[in-house]
Structure 1
Amino acid sequence: MAAPAVSAQALDPVPADVAAMAYRDTALDPKARAADLVSRMTLEEKAAQLGHTAPAIPRLGVPKYNWWNEGLHGVARAGVATVFPQAIGMAATWDEPMMTTVGDVVSTEFRAKYVERVHPDGGTDWYRGLTVWSPNINIFRDPRWGRGQETYGEDPYLTSRIGIGYIHGLQGNDPKFFKTVATSKHFAVHSGPESNRHKEDVYPSKFDLEDTYLPAFRATVTEGKAYSVMCVYNAVYGVPGCASDFLMEEKLRQNWGFPGFVVSDCGAAANIFREDALHYTKTAEEGVAVGLKAGMDLICGDYRNKMSTEVQPIINAVKAGQLPIAVVDQALVRLFEGRIRLGMFDPPASLPFAHITADDSDTPAHHAVALDMAKKSMVLLKNDGLLPLKAEPKTIAVIGPNADSLDALVGNYYGKPSKPVTVLDGIRARFPTAKIVYAEGTGLIGPAEPPVPDSVLCLDGACTKQGLTAEHFAGDDLQGAPVATRTEANARLDWQGEDKSSSARWTGYLKAPQSGEYRFRYLSEGGYKVWVGDKLVVDEWGVGDAPSILSGKTELEAGKVYPIKVEAFQRGPRGTQKLLWSPPVDMAGQAVDVAKTADFVVFVGGLSARVEGEEMKVEAEGFAGGDRTSIDLPKPQQQLLEKVIGTGKPTVLVLMSGSALGVNWADKHVPAIIEAWYPGGEGGHAVAQLIAGDYSPAGRLPVTFYRSVDALPGFSDYTMKNRTYRYFNGEVLYPFGHGLSYTTFAYANPKVSAASVAAGSSVTVSVDVSNSGAMDSDEVVQLYVSHPGGTAIRSLQGFQRVSLKKGETKTVQFKLDDRALSVVDEHGGRKVQAGQVDLWIGGGQPVSREGLTSAPGVKTSFTVTGSAVVSDKVAPK
């Protein structure tokens, strides 16, 4: 049962002696209030407040607070919430104002969750606070990285603008209070491999650091005003990110004027001293001392690795003289200033967010925003005229592992959509008079895995009674006496409710319907183990952030009865769980037969966050530890797709993924291809309506779709040479910025405010964009800058998503300042140099290949006279 909602007026009154303390004076500056509060704490109290699970200090009226809250594309891990497209999909909208709208909705839902579950003393639990550990603005430099789905793509400028939009929405525009606090992460130079992230020591060139890895952090801090930054697991130039004076003090605070707090990635503070990690210091005391002195303010412990928040080592370090108490106080003032600016020590009714209630989450209005965002994120990669459909087909076959998959909607770091719409659901809703036939056909990386039917499960060895014995436990470790023991039809549970750990064990028997190889796994949000007979078939007890789709195999004989045991756990209210299997049946052949009966086929494949993600077990060709070794469509899907296309039925391929797929065969043989990303709770409607032609697609790729990884540098090589559209010299499958439409656009009349400008000055660029086709549509106007003789082929320095009715023309204008016109030298210095600057303004890059026409656009240029240094430092206000 969920904890009762507590209204703002129901909070416990503050004792008179606490109310008289200066930090409670709302007329004082937040920093002064924070300093007063910190001055009243003992050393032990101070040390405890530096961990993400900050305990209450009753004598000072300080409620407990859990700083760890996830909001990558909606409120995550706090039960039902509006789920927007995964971050990479939102970047594909190329729509900064829309990101602000989404951020505003997400922050409203964070406030709603906070009000719903706040304790009478004002305290909060895990995932119910207001400090949001998003956005992830790391550069998606290599398509093999499993966490690239969390980013805004490969380009520093696009990442900056999309990140700034989201931060503005999350933090709000009140001059005094934050609606929530946003966190730019992971600072810095983090982008895989996952398998070595706790030991990686990265030495990027000074050029790459300034040109690629730092610009988005600088922009989200200086312009976006993010009040929080998260430091990384890895080391940079031999120093752990969370102990780097260069990153946190010189860059972040001195050069960029960052006033907020730095939180460690979860477990990253321990990486400073752990022997099996970076081992930069010998002891925990030395580790926390160097981290805090370098500028880390808050330590997130890591439950996955059983890492504490190092409270006792902080106390020891202070007492031993390793850590000045002034450093501890400085960190605490930053933290409490953040809490004060969130309104946590002000009368709730006085806050600008007092009108937000627990009912302001997962609303129809928020679902409408999620649908709009999903539609804007769709990228039409290829279209030979099949789409949009001219008429509703009589029979539509929906085939593929992601066709009816919740995983493929939500990606990673997600909330639970209350009414998730899969692609299959969306097709059924949009084509109500058509006959819809569905066959999964294959799994993502192996055979299809439907739920184990109730009919094969038994309570006894003779199979005289169906069901399993279920034992439910209060904790996540199956320890102690069960809180409930009962007979259940299957190892299946809609596992939701209170935000606490739970675990379960199901035991019984399974009667094999036929002989052959069977594969088993448990669809889980925590971890799982499955035994069949006396064999532990699969063990995926949640090593990473979320379990993969790891399965195990065993041979069974028809009619024989085998003991079966399933164990699983979960943390938080995180969805439906069920036992899956792959029996010895030709499900791929069944899917092909279904395709033969149809007039039109929708093949929905790709990936999911069960195979690409954060530190996970995946045992399949092309995958490794959450990352990929190949970007090909997984072999089982490729084989089924070829058979489906072989039927001759008109087919659209819908890819659902968080990263690029090298679908070279499909590009040659499939008439239409849609990249749908992980499109959120309303994603199925967005896909179906696109196929039907209810709107024209306008999404653009935020990453390059390479043909393969063979032409790229090694994954662990952090050089940007021959990576991304700015530096890759080979032919790609689909370029960064690519996306087709159902209409056509024309560009004309490019103008630059001056033919010649002095270095350090800004210029204004404009162009006329016309919808020359027969359908209303958005167009993404992209501005690329090239410096003849410069290092980059071209660099994005402006974009606008504009809506144009058929026949309409609009003038689009951009301003290029000194940073946009600058180049970076080998020493990391940024300068504006004399010479010609070439501009391309169009609906994509001016690149083409056989079968892919260059995007429409126009060229122009101007000249820069003289030179000027562009300082990294922000002038104080």
Structure 2
Amino acid sequence: MTTAERAADLLSRLSRAERLAMLHQAAPAVGRLGLAAFRTGTEGLHGVSWLGTATVFPQPVGLAATWDPSLVRRVGDAVATEVRAKHAADPSVSLNVWAPVVNPLRHPAWGRTEEGYSEDPHLAAQLGTAFSAGLRGDHPRVWKTVPTLKHFLAYGNETDRAVTSSSLSLRTLHELELPAYRAAIEAGVAGAVMPSYNLVNGRPNHVARELLDELRRWAPGSVAVVSDAGAPTNLVVGERYYADHVASHAAALRAGVDSFTDNDADAEPTTARLTTALEQGLLTDDDVDRAVLRLLELRIRTGELDGDADPWAAVGADAIDLPAHRELAREAVARSVVVLANDGRLLPLARPGRVAVVGPLADLVLTDWYSGTPPYAVGLASALSERYPEADVTVATGADTVALRALSTGAYVTVSTDGAVVTATAPRADGATHFEVTDWGDGVLTLRSAASGRLLTGAGWILRADADRVGGWVAQETFRRHHHTDGTWSLQHVGSGRWVRVQHGTATLVAEAHRPEDAERFAWRTVRSGLVDVAAAAASADVVLVVAGNDPHVAGRETEDRPHLRLPVATTEVWRTAREACDRAVLVVTSSYPYVLGPETADADAVVWSSHGGQELGHGLVDVLAGDVEPSGRLAQGWPATEEQPGDLLDYDQAAQGATYRYGADDGAFPFGHGLSYTTVAYEELVLDRPELGAPAPTHDHPALGPTRSTADDGETVGARVTVRNTGRRPVDELVQLYSLADDPVPDGADRSASGGLPIPRPRRLLLAYARVHLEPGEAREVVLRSDVTRLAVWDVAASVPGAPEDWVHVGALRVQPGRYTLAAGRSSADLPLRATLTVTGVEPGPRPFAGSAVPAIAATHTDGLVLSDLAPEAGAVLEVAPGRAHGVARYDRVVLQGAASVTLRLASARPVHGAVGIEARTGGTWRRLGAVPAPVVGPDEGTAARYRWDQVTTALADAPEGVTDLRVVLPAGARLAELAFA
């Protein structure tokens, strides 16, 4: 039997109660059918998380810098092996893996930047597909694990993430968001998807049926949808989109959510709500059966019912931290290292005599929330000592060593050797009273006890000094200090917001005071200056490496966006101190995200970046710094030059903001695709294998990004032959990149038949393809990059695809506009020395016949001051005036109104509206009023009920213009527009 047939057979033998029980994340066993207890979700973002020792690979943003899908696939395969090993040791470990994250990295302030791959959705899709393929395995029937794509859709802010609505135009939806998910689904290597917490265009993603339907249309088989944790409850509690949990759960199931991750392991609230929904007629048994079938297919894919016939059953519990996984982890780090800047004086390192490694991450390996427990960890300084055993490697973290004397007791804070006891009882300052204080920026500190060697933590409110690292869903190891006017200091525990005080009687330090006035006051004595240590280490060194970056649990992580994009002031002071003491200095940044590097670090001889690379971080970095491995990492997310450049974190319209490499007029400090090697490469020639081809028919397909999607000369692809030459003395692995560059768009109101720019503006730059080529010194090679011409398409609201579903998602189509396109090749999105012209032939579509037809309001060519919002709670989309705007304008270009005597608008009001809806046409460059339509009246007690009360309002038109014209509708604040019909 097929997987679908086996699932249907199982379903037929389940009772209604058993079926309902399977809809919760923690599904009970059904022993009579051989079904064990099952739980969706094992975290495996870059290694197995939260289940003890496991190989820790670089963060996804680092893996993406390899631009190597084959390497990313191998990492996914290794993660799947270790998930299988954990499952062998404990069968409750789920083989449904909640990874990868394919959300485009549209803004570097997003707290979860470390989890994604790229600002380019197609590159993110390609790498996410590769990781998914590794997780899935290569057996034709039984999956090694079942990957889950996260987080669907338009999720890129942590600030109020569960209640904010991402406003997406149809172009943003189809050109920037949906492509990130499509490739893995179409390839059949992702068996599940997790909706994101946020809303899209006013509707929570967990009830966005049309979006989930679109996703499932891509799949060759079934796709399960698993909710994010607590999201079903949030439909009522946080988002307040539904009045009660019965209605919200029923809506989520109808929309396509199959598994409810809610109330931890307690399934009773979920099953009770769904049972009541069945009883009230909000759900049918067919709704339940569809979801259970998809979950059963997911489980069958894992080999759960195959016994010894499961080809992956041979993976034993000892398949953790395998030698091959260690080697792969080191390779992945080295391949992900990006040389951002290099004047050639210091890198690659000559055999050093004396090296100073300074800064908070000098020899520290940090892990993030979705990391496992590494079996070992090698920092940069340790790896340097290993690589250069004859060298004198000195470490100075820059942390001050302090002693704290509590004024209430007159004694110093002291720590027991095991860190379990922290009291203000020491009569004098000695080793047991010393703390190393690291400033992570914006007043956030960690204090490491010299006595225990571990961090001070406020977990459980009684302070201890026994934490190995900053960690936890809410970090417990960070503090802020408050300076009083009398020169004393108080400490606030960041995680709880409570202030530290000293208990009477025991003199124990506890985090429980509510006000700074009630906090303990400390005399803060600096026993040893960290900057003095840095200066001494740097002054005696031949070269200094300043290692800066972030702690992944501080100032940017899940639930917390970054406060800014700058390096912490304390870190720049470490750099300045080291650089002023030694004129041979390299800045090494190890971070989860890009920084804006200001003038303070502009005098670095070289700047090198790595993500938090896991257990082999030090080895991989030194492999590149020493030149044992040629640097090949390239940025999959550009580094801005200013904090303003990325735009507004909560604004998802990248085109309007000029954000990301696609739309930005400024290339930034280090652009998308950038990365240096230790040699020079000349780009000599670009030749297209066909300088002209025909425009394909409009489509809803998103062609995959890749160097050779198709080698067939089938009329739909164009090949670019790029000749590159290594003009230096070292070998190189060059990443050859091909882009489309936009000409200026047609000015508003200009003749669209004129030559020059295309009617619908295209991205300023668009990655079409890339390929790696290895070149020995002096060697020249021709690299062939092939791209599907559909990659040039833009979303055209006036285009259509025959047979497309009739929902808001499919208003319009991807269309390649006839015209001239500039293709450019080079080493980054901002360094493209070669150009060639591609001509796409075809005929621009004619005007839109509005007379005698009904038009969805969202089919506007251009909007200003409007956003898409929900037509009804579960389906449809309309136009609404954006918050804070007095009115909004929807423009419909190149329409024919001739013969229309009236217009009927389908209107609703979100709140009382002042003014009418204006209908205007453009004749000879001047707009004139054709009519005005009064908005529906909202009663004082209607509240949000009027939001979905749609009225058909008709008004006569004054002399509809002849021929082709542009139409615009002016909506006053509060008005909502669903449709225009001209008669």
1:659, 1:213 → 2: CA distance?
Answer: 20
Q: Deviations over 1:159-181 (max 9, x none)?
A: 11111111111111211111111
Residue in 1 that maps onto 2:86: 113
Q: Go from structure 1 to structure 2 and tell me whether the alpha carbon gap of 1:787 and 1:598 turns closer, same or farther (over 3 Å shift).
A: closer
Question: Secondary structure of the equivalent of 2:544?
Answer: strand
Question: Secondary structure of the equivalent of 1:362?
Answer: coil
Are residue 738 (structure 1) and residue 674 (structure 2) matched?
yes
Are residue 528 (structure 1) and residue 445 (structure 2) matched?
no
Q: CA RMSD in A?
A: 3.4
Are residue 648 (structure 1) and residue 579 (structure 2) matched?
no
Residue in 1 that maps onto 2:178: 214
Residue in 2 that maps onto 1:405: 364
1:526, 1:284 → 2: CA distance?
Answer: 38
398-407 vs 376-385, greater mean Cα deviation? 398-407
Residue in 1 that maps onto 2:902: none
Q: Go from structure 1 to structure 2 and tell me whether the alpha carbon gap of 1:350 and 1:362 turns closer, same or farther (over 3 Å shift).
A: same
Are residue 357 (structure 1) and residue 316 (structure 2) matched?
yes
Q: Go from structure 1 to structure 2 and tell me whether the alpha carbon gap of 1:146 and 1:520 turns closer, same or farther (over 3 Å shift).
A: closer
Q: Go from structure 1 to structure 2 and tell me whether the alpha carbon gap of 1:868 and 1:793 turns closer, same or farther (over 3 Å shift).
A: same
1:267, 1:117 → 2: CA distance?
Answer: 25
Residue in 2 that maps onto 1:292: 253
Q: Please report how far the alpha carbon of residue 707 of structure 1 lies from its aligned counterpart in structure 2 after TM superposition.
A: 1.8
Q: Please report how far the alpha carbon of residue 366 of structure 1 lies from its aligned counterpart in structure 2 after TM superposition.
A: 0.7
Are residue 511 (structure 1) and residue 429 (structure 2) matched?
no
Letter in 2 for 1:227: G
795-804 vs 260-269, greater mean Cα deviation? 795-804
Q: Please report how far the alpha carbon of residue 516 of structure 1 lies from its aligned counterpart in structure 2 after TM superposition.
A: 12
Are residue 67 (structure 1) and residue 40 (structure 2) matched?
yes
Q: Please report how far the alpha carbon of residue 354 of structure 1 lies from its aligned counterpart in structure 2 after TM superposition.
A: 3.1
Q: Please report how far the alpha carbon of residue 153 of structure 1 lies from its aligned counterpart in structure 2 after TM superposition.
A: 1.7
2:396, 2:148 → 1: CA distance?
Answer: 42
Q: Please report how far the alpha carbon of residue 490 of structure 1 lies from its aligned counterpart in structure 2 after TM superposition.
A: 2.0
Q: Please report how far the alpha carbon of residue 72 of structure 1 lies from its aligned counterpart in structure 2 after TM superposition.
A: 0.8
Letter in 2 for 1:71: G
Q: Go from structure 1 to structure 2 and tell me whether the alpha carbon gap of 1:527 and 1:33 turns closer, same or farther (over 3 Å shift).
A: farther
Are residue 368 (structure 1) and residue 327 (structure 2) matched?
yes
Are residue 796 (structure 1) and residue 767 (structure 2) matched?
yes
Q: Deviations over 1:13-54 (max 9, x none)?
A: xxxxxxxxxxxxxxx221121122222223332222111122
Are residue 821 (structure 1) and residue 792 (structure 2) matched?
yes
Q: Go from structure 1 to structure 2 and tell me whether the alpha carbon gap of 1:292 and 1:356 turns closer, same or farther (over 3 Å shift).
A: same
Residue in 1 that maps onto 2:232: 269
Q: Go from structure 1 to structure 2 and tell me whether the alpha carbon gap of 1:317 and 1:335 turns closer, same or farther (over 3 Å shift).
A: same
Equivalent of residue 419 in structure 1, options 376, 397, 404: 376
Q: Deviations over 1:638-691 (max 9, x none)?
A: 122112111133111110111110112255211110011111210101112222
Q: Please report how far the alpha carbon of residue 221 of structure 1 lies from its aligned counterpart in structure 2 after TM superposition.
A: 1.2
Question: Secondary structure of the equivalent of 1:590?
Answer: helix
Q: Go from structure 1 to structure 2 and tell me whether the alpha carbon gap of 1:643 and 1:462 turns closer, same or farther (over 3 Å shift).
A: closer
> Does the 8 A contact of 1:526 with 1:542 survive in 2?
no
Residue in 2 that maps onto 1:685: 619
Q: Go from structure 1 to structure 2 and tell me whether the alpha carbon gap of 1:362 and 1:33 turns closer, same or farther (over 3 Å shift).
A: same
Q: Go from structure 1 to structure 2 and tell me whether the alpha carbon gap of 1:252 and 1:258 turns closer, same or farther (over 3 Å shift).
A: farther
35-44 vs 628-637, greater mean Cα deviation? 35-44
Q: Deviations over 1:710-730 (max 9, x none)?
A: 244322112113110111113
> Does the 8 A contact of 2:567 with 2:597 survive in 1?
yes
**Greater strand fraction, Structure 1 or Structure 2:** 2
Are residue 863 (structure 1) and residue 836 (structure 2) matched?
no
Structure 2 unaligned residues grouped into runs of 5+? 438-444, 449-453, 483-488, 492-500, 513-522, 697-715, 744-756, 798-810, 846-983
Equivalent of residue 478 in structure 2, options 541, 549, 552: 549
Q: Please report how far the alpha carbon of residue 86 of structure 1 lies from its aligned counterpart in structure 2 after TM superposition.
A: 0.2
Are residue 772 (structure 1) and residue 727 (structure 2) matched?
yes
Letter in 1 for 2:183: A
Letter in 1 for 2:459: Y
Are residue 594 (structure 1) and residue 559 (structure 2) matched?
no
Q: Please report how far the alpha carbon of residue 801 of structure 1 lies from its aligned counterpart in structure 2 after TM superposition.
A: 2.4
Residue in 2 that maps onto 1:33: 6
1:674, 1:338 → 2: CA distance?
Answer: 42
Equivalent of residue 490 in structure 1, options 418, 422, 437: 418
Question: Secondary structure of the equivalent of 2:632?
Answer: coil
Q: Deviations over 1:256-288 (max 9, x none)?
A: 5662101111111222122xx111111111111
1:605, 1:464 → 2: CA distance?
Answer: 31
Question: Secondary structure of the equivalent of 2:614?
Answer: coil
2:45, 2:212 → 1: CA distance?
Answer: 23
> Does the 8 A contact of 1:50 with 1:332 survive in 2?
yes
> Does the 8 A contact of 1:140 with 1:152 survive in 2?
yes
Residue in 1 that maps onto 2:338: 379
1:812, 1:178 → 2: CA distance?
Answer: 35
1:567, 1:344 → 2: CA distance?
Answer: 48
1:210, 1:525 → 2: CA distance?
Answer: 48
Residue in 1 that maps onto 2:704: none
Alignment of 1:639-788 (within 5 A): 639-666=573-600, 668-720=602-654, 721-760=657-696, 761-788=716-743
Are residue 182 (structure 1) and residue 121 (structure 2) matched?
no
Residue in 2 that maps onto 1:197: 161
Q: Please report how far the alpha carbon of residue 339 of structure 1 lies from its aligned counterpart in structure 2 after TM superposition.
A: 0.7
Letter in 1 for 2:636: P
1:307, 1:271 → 2: CA distance?
Answer: 16
Residue in 1 that maps onto 2:223: 260
> Does the 8 A contact of 1:521 with 1:551 survive in 2?
no
Structure 1 unaligned residues grouped into runs of 5+? 1-27, 119-123, 443-447, 469-488, 493-505, 569-580, 617-625, 848-853, 870-877
Q: Deviations over 1:505-560 (max 9, x none)?
A: x5655527559998765878997155579xx9x9x9988466573455655999x9
Q: Please report how far the alpha carbon of residue 133 of structure 1 lies from its aligned counterpart in structure 2 after TM superposition.
A: 0.7
The higher relative CO (CA closer than 8 Å, separation ≥ 6) is in: 1
Q: Deviations over 1:575-603 (max 9, x none)?
A: xxxxxx99634222222222222221111
Q: Go from structure 1 to structure 2 and tell me whether the alpha carbon gap of 1:771 and 1:868 turns closer, same or farther (over 3 Å shift).
A: farther
| Structure with greater Cα Rg | 2
Residue in 2 that maps onto 1:10: none
> Does the 8 A contact of 2:170 with 2:795 survive in 1?
no
> Does the 8 A contact of 1:543 with 1:615 survive in 2?
no
Residue in 2 that maps onto 1:281: 242
> Does the 8 A contact of 1:419 with 1:681 survive in 2?
yes
2:295, 2:338 → 1: CA distance?
Answer: 41
546-555 vs 667-676, greater mean Cα deviation? 546-555
Q: Please report how far the alpha carbon of residue 307 of structure 1 lies from its aligned counterpart in structure 2 after TM superposition.
A: 10
2:161, 2:217 → 1: CA distance?
Answer: 28
Question: Secondary structure of the equivalent of 2:773?
Answer: strand
Q: Please report how far the alpha carbon of residue 833 of structure 1 lies from its aligned counterpart in structure 2 after TM superposition.
A: 1.3
Residue in 2 that maps onto 1:572: none
1:653, 1:173 → 2: CA distance?
Answer: 42
Letter in 2 for 1:864: V
2:470, 2:626 → 1: CA distance?
Answer: 42
Residue in 2 that maps onto 1:394: 353
Q: Deviations over 1:297-355 (max 9, x none)?
A: 11112659x998722211221222211121111111101111111100111x2222233
1:64, 1:567 → 2: CA distance?
Answer: 41
TM-score normalised per structure 1: 0.79
Q: Go from structure 1 to structure 2 and tell me whether the alpha carbon gap of 1:820 and 1:105 turns closer, same or farther (over 3 Å shift).
A: same
2:569, 2:329 → 1: CA distance?
Answer: 32
Question: Secondary structure of the equivalent of 1:681?
Answer: helix
Equivalent of residue 336 in structure 1, options 264, 277, 296: 296
Residue in 1 that maps onto 2:572: 638
Residue in 2 that maps onto 1:832: 816
Q: Go from structure 1 to structure 2 and tell me whether the alpha carbon gap of 1:651 and 1:529 turns closer, same or farther (over 3 Å shift).
A: farther
Letter in 2 for 1:781: V
TM-score normalised per structure 2: 0.71
